[in-house]
Amino acid sequence: MCQSAVSFQISPVGHGQDELIQRHIDLKTKPLGALGQLEALALQIARVQGAASPQICHPTLLVFAGDHGIAAEGVSIAPSEVTGQMVANFARGGAAINVFCRQVGFKLEVIDCGILTPVEAVTGIIDQRLGAGTGAIHLAAAMPLASVDKGFAMARALIERHHQAGCNLVAFGEMGIGNTSAAAAVMAASMGLGAAECVGRGTGISHEAYARKLMLIEQALELHRAALVNPKAILACLGGFEIVQMTGAMLAAAERKMLVLVDGFIATAAALVAVSLAPNVRDYLIFAHQSEEQGHQRMLAHLQAKPLLSLGLRLGEGTGAALALPLVYAAVNFYNQMASFSDAGIEAVV
């Protein structure tokens, strides 16, 4: 069956209440701007949700997993089989992302978007498989264009389920050996950059593996150059099943006016494509952290994003997004609960 194209209707966030929201922030019992980036975050959240009393409800972190054909070329520190092993670890609750989600109050779900072999005998893994790993992008397209729309439709249904359950903030993690290669290729094609400006060392590859990774991504960009005509084509030629579904999930969440907490390099590559497809998505994105991957800072600058954290992370899984959730709560809570000068009987210093 042919998969029909999926489109999203995403409304821009209005700025009509900005002055009221900013005044509400400025009149708290503090010097102007003294809470720094938390004030900008509170403004963004109140702008999306309305100025009266913004709330974070049922925050959910979704880990999307998929394998990559290019991983067979030794561009990562581990073989593709580790993807499935880590997915099982997520489902059993033993990974860093499980620890952090339990700590900060994130509900966690794990989605198999297309790892090499489905994980057996472990419950709690959601089946949204688009295949058993993508094609090797230096030799062929990662997937047919129809798989991009199928992935978008699956992601939309997933987000809709959480929206109906009352969730208004989602975050996305990923797992997939080789996915920094796909993300770097997507970044290069989306931003019109050379591979050397986008390719990093992932989770810590050797000099030899880095040189091979760079060569293969340059080969992939040249192979598909004529086909990279729009964001969906970039995903089909160069992306990953998990990157496709993260992109679709960001679009779907913005369509439902949900906040999106963006993790590191790979999630930001998905955000780059989502914003290319629908610029209004940018209004709903909160960027959690700046990773150690060398292209991430450039992507963040392109998206005019100032991340909340810079901890030298390079794990993925959504760990940076999980660690940033308490800061989101802090922004909402000071906005709602902190006394104003008049409340406290203090002479205003604004």
Strand partners, 286: 261
Cβ neighbours of residue 137 closer than 8 Å, sequence gap 6 or more: 68, 69, 70, 181, 182, 185, 216, 217, 220, 223, 224, 237, 238
Tell me the one-letter amino acid at 21.
I
Q: Is 207 exposed, middle or buried (0-12, 13-18, 19+ CB in 10 A)?
A: exposed
Give the helix/strand (H/E) hosting 63. strand 60-66
d(CA 99, CA 198): 30
Nearest to 61 by CA among 97, 18, 14: 97
Cα torsion 213, 214, 218, 219 to 10°: value is -30
Characterize the bridge pairing of strands 107-114 and 285-287.
Answer: unpaired
**In sequence order, what DSSP letters do the residues of 96-115 get, joined into one string?**
HHHHHHHHHT-EEEEEEEE-
Q: Phi, psi (5° rounding) for residue 275? A: -70, -35
19 belongs to the catalytic site:
no
Nearest to 249 by CA among 144, 85, 109: 109
d(CA 64, CA 108): 11
With beta carbons less than 8 A apart as the criterion, state whether 58 and 166 touch: yes
Which tokens go with 61? 């972190």
Q: Which of 208, 293, 317, 347 is catalytic?
A: 317
Residue 142: CA atoms inside 13 Å, Cβ hemisphere, count? Answer: 35
Kindly list the catalytic residues.
Answer: 317
